[in-house]
Structure 1
Amino acid sequence: MDHSFLSAFILLLLVLDPLGSLPIFIGIMREVPKERRARVATREVGLAAIVLLAFMFFGDSFLSVMHLSERSLEVAGGVILLIIAIKMIFGSAGESAYGLEPGKEPFIFPLAVPLLAGPSAMATVLLLASRQPERIWDWIGALCAAMWVSGLTLLMADRIRRLLGDSVISAIEKLMGLVLTAIAVEMCLAGLKRYFIGGL
């Protein structure tokens, strides 16, 4: 199916899913000193955008050089998200589900990769660029617009946390941990299914 700029923007926004990932964003940003949150959010969104742009141009070549497939990328991302999801559900009050020490800020992992620039987002930009390479500037524009919306959502995470309160956010975070578990398992199963069916 051929995409327009608008359909590519909507597709990327659905794949990035900034609203669905909001409780995860809030949990991560809670570990960051208040005065650094806006800068960290902007930096992580920028890093995710760079990763996806690089994957748009060089993803196919990189996978070929490393003898990797989109299926292995999908399974690996699913495993990482599954570990995060389990920690979100069963982690203790003083423990970060994201591998961050209190007061430490994320750098690339887990905010930029894999939560924003995850396997599904990488596969999406790769497919857009490979199917209609003559419209690469449209895909770059759609990606930048989708990342801008995601960045705005991330910048508002602390405000939303203050509005809802820590107890509500904690409950939502555990609920999203369940959802994230299902998403992670689905990613793994999809990658394995494509591997076995493709291998026949």
Structure 2
Amino acid sequence: MFAFSWVEIVSAFLVLFAIIDATGSVPIFLNLRSQGRTIHAEKAAIYSSIILIGFLFIGEGLLRLFQVDISSFAVAGAVVLLIISIEMIFGVEIFRNDNPSADNSSTLFPVVFPLIAGPGSFTTLLTMRAEYHTINIIIAVLINLVIVYLVLRYLDQVKKLLGESGAYILRKFFGVILMAISVKLITSNMSALIETVNAAL
């Protein structure tokens, strides 16, 4: 349960980095700022960590409630990740929400949800539980949220550092990585499902 592994941490970090896509969301964050809306970097990181780590622990219980095993969910989640990677590579934006909320702060909505802790992140966490130890996933989540904090805290500097071309290339690159990892998750968990079915026959 507490098997520390740098390989798992790096792999989980890369998947979550691609899904959360803090650098790719910089234009959205800047657009919110241009509308006079405030984004609190510290609150965004704290709220996101509570939501993501909490879901990591209760998500499997929710699956049991609906009688869905983790391997089946992992395959379904990996398919979702594959679709997201295709969206990233080909520049198709489906789940992006920049509608203004009732107050002047955009920290909770839409920054924390759905941009950081959204359906893609939830699916990713439960999918990775079929492959990685929990402690390594938590570390990967926290590292990603440190990056989220830094991106939000130094938004203007990040924009200048990356530039439009840099953010574009980074998004495409991690889209390809996410696609490769999602294919690996599908093949490995499909094997587990086939073994389970064969054992039941």
Deviations 1:91-150 (A, max 9, x none): 26xxxx35113466255446324337523443468x66xxxxxxxxxx6xx776554333
Instruction: Give yes or no for the alignment of 1:53 onto 2:57.
Output: yes
Counterpart amino acid of residue 114 in structure 1: G
CA distance in 2, matches of 1:171, 1:152: 22
Counterpart Cα distance in 1 of 2:160 and 2:14: 18
User: TM-score, normalization: structure 2?
Assistant: 0.68
Structure 2, unmatched stretches of 5+, are 101-109
The one of 94, 97, 100 equivalent to 2:96 is 100
3-state SS of 2:95 partner: coil
Gaps in structure 1 of 5+ consecutive residues = 129-138
Aligned to 1:132: none
CA RMSD of aligned residues (A): 3.3
Q: CA deviation at 1:78?
A: 1.0
Say if 1:190 and 1:160 are closer, same or farther in 2 by CA, change over 3 A: farther
> What residue number does 1:133 align with?
none
Closer, same or farther in 2 for the Cα pair 1:101/1:14, shift >3 Å?
same
Q: Confirm whether residue 27 of structure 1 aligns to residue 24 of structure 2.
A: yes
| Aligned residue type for 2:47 | R
Residue 161 of structure 1 deviates from its aligned partner by: 4.2
> Of 130, 142, 145, which residue of structure 2 is paired with 1:148?
142
Aligned-partner residue type, residue 196 of structure 2: G
- Cα offset, 1:19, TM superposition: 8.7
- Alignment CA distance shift 1:30-1:41 (3 Å): farther
Partners in 2 of 1:144 and 1:180 — Cα distance?
A: 19
2:25 match: secondary structure: helix
Pick closer, same or farther for the CA change 1:27–1:147 going to 2, 3 Å: same
Question: Which residue of 2 is the match for residue 77 of structure 1?
Answer: 77
The equivalent of 2:104 in structure 1 is: none
Aligned partner of 1:152: which letter?
V
**Partner Cα distance (1:114, 1:69) in 2:** 19
Please give the secondary structure, in 1, of the residue aligned with 2:129.
helix
Greater shift in the superposed pair: 167-176 or 142-151: 142-151
Aligned equivalents of 2:137 and 2:146: distance in 1?
14
CA 1:37/1:188 → structure 2, altered by over 3 Å: closer, same or farther? farther
- Deviation of 1:66 (Å): 1.5
Check conservation: 1:47, 1:108, Cα contact below 8 A: no
Aligned residue among 101, 108, 111 for 2:116: 111
User: Percent identical across equivalent pairs?
Assistant: 18
SS in 1 for 2:187: helix
2:106 alignment counterpart? none
Please state how far the C-alpha of 1:197 moved relative to its aligned partner: 2.0
Distance 1:118 1:30, change over 3 A: farther
Q: Is the 8 A contact 1:12 1:121 kept in 2?
A: no
Question: Judging changes above 3 Å, is the alpha-carbon distance between structure 1 residues 161 and 45 closer, same or farther for their aligned structure 2 residues?
Answer: farther
Q: For residue 36 of structure 1, report the CA deviation from its aligned partner.
A: 1.6
Letter of the structure 2 residue corresponding to residue 192 of structure 1 = M
Aligned length: 175
